[in-house]
Structure 1
Amino acid sequence: MSRSACAATTLPRFTAAAVELGFTAVDAVPMRLRDEVIGSLNLFRTSPGALPAEAAALARSFANVATIGLFQARATARNQSVVEQLQTALSNRVADALSLMRNYARNTGKLLSDVARLVNERSPEVTGLARVSKPRPRW
């Protein structure tokens, strides 16, 4: 069975719409990553018959570029997801550090800005900072 006959029997509405628009041939060029086919580049033509060799080579090039584009888009999306996860983790750590410093300031009667300065200076005075669990009541 020819390609067009196969399409006509399995996709009758598509075939009718394509013919109505003037298409008489369709070629599918596989989009590959090594040995894996990830999709296809479909060429709709208004002239029947085999795809000329030059056009087939050009179509192969377009399929390769499209494949690269898809993988770059996937990698970009994946990288953005990792960036968002890292940003969330960093924000949580900053909030945790602020909470620890605030509790330490309350428990020791120091200003938060002084505790931040001591942390920044890596003062031995605040080595126990992470061990402070809850603030002492103010009254």
Structure 2
Amino acid sequence: MGRDRQLSAAFVGLADTLGEDFDVVDLLERLAARCVAFSSAGAVGIVLSDGRGPLRNIAASQERAAFMELLQLQTGDGPCVECFRTGSMVRVPRVAAEIERWPQLVPALIEAGFPAVVALPLRLRESVIGAVNLFYPQEDPDVADDLPVAQAFSDVAALAMLNSPSRRTGPEDILARLQVTITNKVAVEQAKGFLAESGGISVEAAGTTLRDYAHAHGVRATDLARAVIRREIEASEVLGVPEAAAERARPA
């Protein structure tokens, strides 16, 4: 399949969430994965705001990216935070040159193998609701083809969060959806931690297992996560991905 057809399929995969009931956490994780697949970035992380509280790390293609996002949010500075504040792209082709600007973040990025970063705004209509961060494994990366595609993916994902582009959605509806998304992310992270401990695997592997199980059986990852937390499904069942447990993950 050529790149154009692959891109078309990727956009369709994001846009098909425009139904009445979809999982925003899953949508943003798919956004992160697609940005990695169609760019030279080594990893992608996404932060989100519910419009009231601080930014939250909501999705990442790998745990290293999630940790870099968390560090930025803890220090209150960095490309993703600056991008969210200004609503503009932040391009850092050489992270090492920003040591005075971000004295805690820069050494961590270099140690993690990300000597370059680009942050793109995640917009919902007129509002900036977060940022999409592309972490690069080399300095001075060629991003000419990466950024338009990543921004387009981000715009489609943000549109999907409105549920239906043809229906008027007020600010209060958008705010409520963002708040639910952040609450769902907490449940997913709790379930990932529990699965990791139960199975003796990494948190990243546990997240993949959770998503694979949900996708294989047609359940939402957040519904499955809550079922795991409430012990309605045993961790061993999810780790083994059996058929029988799928029904108990489905919402009533």
Q: Which has the larger radius of gyration?
A: 1
Structure whose residues are more often helix by fraction: 1
Please report the TM-score for the alignment, with normalisation by the length of structure 2.
Answer: 0.25
| Structure with larger RCO (C-alpha < 8 A, sep 6+) | 2
